[in-house]
Every structure is written in structure tokens, then in C-alpha cells.
Amino acid sequence: MWGGHDPHEGSLKFQMCQGDGAALPWPRVVFAPNGQPAAAPQVSPAELARQAIAELGLEAPDIQLAPPADSPHGATVGFPVWMWTVRRPSTIGPVSKTAAAGGISVSVTATLEWITWAMGDGAPVTCAGPGTPFTDDQAGRPSPTCGHIYSRASSAGFPISATGHWRIRWSGAGQGAADSMDLTSRAQLAVREIRTLNTDVRGG
């Protein structure tokens, strides 16, 4: 427990280091020689970056569909479906956070780069951004940025997932790096098929 030190040479000190109000990977116990303060805990920029990333509050896409997922009729085979996410910092960024401890400060910024949609019918759709919100005057038109057309029906509904791909960059104390994070949300959308019946009525 004394790490090879004689108990008469000093004492054990309990250390906890905090940065920006949140505890870093401590507490820990260190040996302090008699008459000397315990050595100050050292924190690496990468540790601070991990702390800041954990506090960014990033969220998976807030799925929005047109027709909406709770529509009583759902989507229709052969007609455009629009997909997008609600636009707020936690879903599209950019989001920034700074963590500091031991005289070191690290800044982190996260930005949504793209969203991958799995539409449940085997068709993946990759959209470069959050998508375009639907408006009533666009009825029947395809989305200019993120859409899909179903070729078959499903009364039970197709399971849909949207994965937001984030790029995270941090820098501080002369160091820096880039990282990524994927966050996924899910929805369900029924798809119907409209059938037409042609009747030849001839008068006698």
C-alpha cells in the first residue's frame, strides 16, 4: 500500500482533481514525503478531451418524416418520402466545450457530417446534411436533399433508423486530434399500395 515507502518517511494523501466542475479520472492516493506537499496530479490533454466530449450532449437524429410516422395511412408506394432531423445544436452542431485542469485547457468542437438512413426495405440512403423539412406546397415532389421512394408495401410498417455521423476535433496544450461518433435513432413507417380498377361500361 505504501508503494515501497517507509511509513515513517511520510504519509498517504488523498487527491481529487477537478476541471470545469467535473471530476477527472481521480481520486487517487499518493505518497507525500515528510515536510513536502504531495505531487500535483498530472492530466493529459487527451484525458481532458475525453471529459469534454462526454459533456457535449450530442444526440441521435430527431427523426422527422413526410408522411409522418404516426400518419393513419403512412406512405404510398411510388410516392416520395421526405426525411430530416430537427435542427438544434445537439442534433446537428456545431457544439463546443472546454475542459481545464492543472493549468491545461482543451477545447472540443463536434459537427454533424452526414446521416445514414436505413429505410427498412433494404435501401440505404446517405444524406449530406440534416435534410430539408417538408412543407405542404411540396406535396408530391421529391425532397431536394434527403428522400426515398418505396417500391413495395408494408401494412405492419418498415423499421427506419437514422444514424448521425459526427466529427469531433479537439486542441489544447500544443496537441490536437480528430475523432468520430455515431448516434442512432429509430422509427416505423407503414407503406400502402394504391390499386386502381378499370371498368369498361358500355351502354346498350
**pTM for the model:** 0.76
Residue 145: inside a domain: yes
Query: Do residue 85 and residue 129 come from a single domain?
Result: yes
Residue 203: inside a domain: no
User: What is the per-residue DSSP string for 75-101?
Assistant: EETTSEEEEEE---HHHH--EEEEEEE
Query: Do residue 119 and residue 18 come from a single domain?
Result: no
Query: Mind listing the pLDDT tens digit for each residue in 132-189?
Result: 999 999 999 999 999 999 999 998 999 999 999 999 999 999 999 999 999 999 999 9
Give the chain's domain count. Answer: 2
Residue 197: inside a domain: no
Of 41, 12, 17, 42, which is closest to residue 29 (Cα–Cα)? 12
Query: Do residue 125 and residue 77 come from a single domain?
Result: yes
Q: Domain of 151? A: 43-192
